[in-house]
Chains A and B, each alone.
Chain A
Amino acid sequence: MKKLLAAALGILTAIGGFVDIGDLVTNAVVGSRFGMSLAWVVVLGVVGIVLFASMSGRVAAVSGRATFEIVRERLGPRAAGANLLASFAINLLTLTAEVGGIALALHLASSVEPRLWIPVAALAVWLVLWRVKFQVLENVAGLMGLLLVGFAIALFQLGPDWGELLRQAVPPSPPGTEHPASYWYYAVALFGAAMTPYEVFFFSSGAVEERWTAKDLGTNRVNVLLGFPLGGLLSLSIAACAAVVLLPAGIEVSSLSQIVLPVAQAGGVLLLAVVILGIVAATFGAALETALSSGYTLAQYLGWSWGKFRRPARAARFHLTMIVALLLAVGILMTSVDPVAVTEMSVVFSAVALPLTYVPILVVANDPEYMGEHVNGRVVNALGTVYLVIVVVAAVAAIPLMIATGAGS
């Protein structure tokens, strides 16, 4: 019974932890402009993240070492250093977007303007990172993120034309009003939102935090195989809500407040409150994960002591890194930049940085020195290679598409 509960917890945490501000914004924007014609990208992204999260979890569980440590050893200092700089920068951008997302969501829940919430949100994130045990942090944020199922509930209550939604998705039929370049730009953005690089660092470091061994591999696989796809369904329901309510009205999503309107229409104030709480939780959880990832990447590359399982005094530079990252995020947000704009940038640049994260995972997961008998099987390798191609194509296409479409306008 206890094992079943633990398994359920793992799955639920994975579902709740899947959606972050990037998924929220990008799916809503896509739903309001392209309907369900980009749903296939979400599916593609979910399969990809399942593949790579399970690989990085396996690497950490079997070798006892986290991603970046192995990246440094396998790729050599210079290549890994470039990887570090890019990953750290994107991580920081994502962290900024998440903290901004917390502030926007709290603004929706209260009448206090986002700018005042930003330092409060960052302080709260730091306090949790400082004191709360890793397991508790994971579980609470993940479970509360489940409240986002409100979007799925709202979708059903709206009583949409399911046939129409399906027709938009399969085969992908974007509205004639949108330029093909915009379609592909958003495909890349959505892909970047689903396959967020920080997830891989976080997952593999988390496996070391929780002292996974080869025995935990089974649990890892189940959590990832069940949790992430269900999380993907949440993403799709966010897009569908926008497609059902906002698309027909010709509304283009550009703010968080528009994203929750379909929920209010479907379920009134109660469902709206549930969803807003879910957004606060999901963005808060994601902020924790990205802050931790910034600590993990820097500490692992430079060989510092790291980990939430150590008291802060025994992992001083690790904690200092996270504090500095949060301060930088607050600094950027206090310039009154639009958090939604930051989010949109962060997902596109995540797509650009993807190969940097995934190539090393694929290489290490095949290395018998670290993996022993748990190296990748043929099927996993075949899929991994296919995804490598997809990831590289997306990364290469991202910036040109961004320029060509003026960031999607």
Chain B
Amino acid sequence: MTLLASTGCVASRQEPGQATAAVADALAEAGSAGETARIAVGLLDEGRVTGPVADTVLLDQLRVLDDAESALTTLVPPDAATAARRTTGLDAVGDVSDAVVAARSWVAVRSGGDLAPGAAEDTGVPASADDLLADLATALDAADAALAEAGGP
């Protein structure tokens, strides 16, 4: 999974097909991370999982999203079309990352962490699981769209 970065980050000219496949792989990873976050948030909301476990899940997925982002940033697109796909991809991965980061803050609040409930609005953390899930859904839709454009499954 994380080794996939090595298949994509060659700093020399790549075939457009190869580069697009690399974009698709990164987006698939991001989608996987976002979906995992969705499940974790839902489970915590239902009280089926503990705060620490949910936090660990989200932390692990943030690392995955980090890898996906570096796979995209270190890519050298061989043509304009791939470059455009790469930009869309980076935006989508960024959106998912933002949503997962927000989810982690929400988990901290939910578990009774330092972040007082009132401060949540100021820092832009969604107040409820539903808002969070909605944000995640939007980000994941964008990622899916970018993935479809890159010819992914």
Contact = CB atoms under 8 A, between A and B. Distances in A.
* List of 5 A-B pairs having minimum Cβ-Cβ separation, nearest first: A409-B4, A255-B60, A177-B153, A249-B35, A264-B49
Contact of B35 (A107, A251, A408): A251
Given A108-B56, A251-B35, A264-B43, A407 B28 contact: no
A265 B53 CA distance: 13
Nearest to B60: A255
Contact of A258 (B4, B29, B36): B36
A251 B6 CA distance: 21
B36 A261 contact: yes
What is the predominant secondary structure among interface residues of chain B facing chain A?
A: helix
Q: Which of A107, A252, A257, A265 has the most CB of B within 10 A?
A: A257
Given A252-B29, A258-B57, A258-B60, A268 B47 contact: yes
A249 B40 CA distance: 13
A254 interface: yes
Contact of B50 (A107, A250, A254, A272): A272
Q: Which of B28, B39, B47 has the most CB of A within 10 A?
A: B39
B47 A269 contact: yes
Interface footprint category on B: 20 to 34
Given A257-B53, A257-B56, A272-B53, A406 B40 contact: no
Interface in B53-74: 53, 55-57, 60-61, 64
Nearest to A407: B3
Contacts of A110: 52
A254 B2 contact: yes
A254 B40 CA distance: 15
Interface string B1-21: 111101100000000000000
A257 B32 contact: no
A243 to B, nearest CB: 15
Contact of B3 (A108, A245, A249, A409): A409
A407 B5 CA distance: 11
Interface string A252-285: 1011011011001100110010000000000000
A341 interface: yes
5 contacts: A111-B55, A245-B39, A252-B1, A254-B1, A261-B43
A407 B6 CA distance: 11
B89 interface: no
Contacts of B7: 406, 409
Contacts of B77: none
A405 to B, nearest CB: 9
Contacts of A261: 36, 39-40, 43, 49, 57
Contact of A107 (B25, B29, B56, B64): B56
A210 interface: no
B31 to A, nearest CB: 6
A338 interface: yes
A176 B152 CA distance: 12
Given A264-B43, A272-B50, 20 more contacts: A107-B56, A250-B28, A250-B32, A251-B39, A252-B29, A254-B2, A255-B61, A258-B36, A258-B57, A260-B53, A261-B43, A264-B49, A269-B47, A269-B50, A341-B2, A341-B3, A406-B4, A407-B3, A409-B1, A409-B25
A251 B1 contact: no
Contacts of B61: 255
A408 B64 CA distance: 16
B35 A108 contact: no
